[in-house]
Amino acid sequence: MSKKFDWRMVLLFIALLCVTVGCASNVKGASSDKVIVKAEKRAEKVKAKKSYYGALRVKGTYLTDQKGKKVVLKGISTHGLQWFPEYVNEKTFRDLHDTFHMNLVRLALYTDENGYCSGGDKKELEKVIDRGVKAATKHQMYVIIDWHVLHDLTPKKYEKQAKSFFKKMAKKYRKNPHVIYEICNEPNGGTGWEEIRSYAKKIIPVIHKYNKNAVVLVGTPNWSQELLDAAKNPLPKTGKYKNVMYTLHFYATTHRDELRTKLKQAHEQKLPVFVSEFGICDASGNGSIDKQQANQWMTLLNQYKISYANWSLCNKDEAASFLKPSCKKLYGFKTSNLSTSGKWLTKVLTGSGKVTAKTKTNTDIIASKKADAHLLVKAKVTGEWESNGKQFLQYSLSLRNDGSKDIKDWQVKLSFKTKVKIVNHWNGNAQVNGKTITLTPVDYNRTAASGSSIEDIGLIICYEKRP
């Protein structure tokens, strides 16, 4: 069970409206509400099949437990952690396990695209990974730390950074049997197997130095589709390179019989395969969905006892997403919140396309009354987690102008019982002064037109947790 959150730490939200920035002191009669917390009573957990098997090994073609019994992991991959970090939290992972019967989450750490090696905040990204590892461990799930090579084409581009990163991760989680390491997501752009193999021979020993039995996943050429290239010259199966598997990625609308034939041939050649990413749409992550082809893939994966992770845990407006774009929840998902892909995956994992487990939902809405200028402020707690003795809260806010005139240069003040720090914010500027955070607009949402709303103002804060 998750720890109960101390809601007394949050005092109130005060919405202050002013015609020009900095004149909040001129506002009269600004009103406020206390925090209102709404939550459904949590039902008993759905009894799922055994999900945790202890430390894993690779034996022949298969992933196994320490006794050599075949193990199949089934779950989901996050989208890029730099874009959707909010889904990496304890309550989301709890629901993935308890409600959707998943025992695997893949943490997609992009190297390029403002990711870990190209301008992203390394410390914050590492914190997200740590949050994911801890949440997965708590709920008896396995977790893949994925070095998400994509637009960088070859893993050699950031080889130095990969060595440093995996050294840090392997050392930190050396005693955690829940962790699996994926060292290059999808090499592409003409990157051949020998180049990937050379890279893998340098990275795997870095990991195995701290955990000699850690399972390591190695990508294959052409967006992890050319298994047969790896089968012709695999890494050694003993010593520094034991417990290695090779990844296959497919998207059902695009990849059909030809790629399934390659998988069959690789299996016949005793290549251990792990499907660390797949979708039931086309290879772009969007477009049409082909359930028939997806079901053929599942039949083959089940036949060969191959583990898999579906792309992706987010509400991005694309076919591959687990959630609909309209879903703003981080947990407590209902059937109506799931995309077509999400419903299909739920049926595959639970035998039903419906969400039947009633879990605690995050409908915690903090609503202020209308101020004199008819600005209605609503906020929702969309995430909460603990890390290093600190409590973190994520809010999603919306502003609605119910008045007859447009409102320019709005201002919202949030007051707390204790001093807080701003971790991140978006779709608005944010400044903190002790126990108060002031939100002001950015260029594109300076005006709240009469009768309209400004949505998706985001804020993540933290404070020292009381003992």
Active site (catalytic) residues:
186, 277
105: β partners: 76, 143
Strand pairing report for 74-80 and 104-110: parallel
Residue 198 in contact with residue 162, Cβ under 8 Å?
no
Residue 43 in contact with residue 357, Cβ under 8 Å?
yes
Residue 448 in contact with residue 407, Cβ under 8 Å?
yes
Cis peptide bond N-terminal to 312, omega within 30: yes
Residue 145 in contact with residue 182, Cβ under 8 Å?
yes
Q: Hunting for tokens 């996050």 — which residue is that?
A: 78
Name residue 43's amino acid: A
**Secondary structure E strands in 280-428:** 308-313, 365-367, 375-387, 390-401, 407-408, 411-415, 421-426
Q: Hunting for tokens 């025992």 — which residue is that?
A: 103
Among the listed residues 462, 467, 416, the one whose alpha carbon sits nearest the alpha carbon of residue 127: 462
- Reduce the DSSP state of residue 287 to 3 states and report it: coil
Q: Hunting for tokens 């497919």 — which residue is that?
A: 250
Rounded to whole angstroms, the Cα distance separating 391 from 377 reads 24
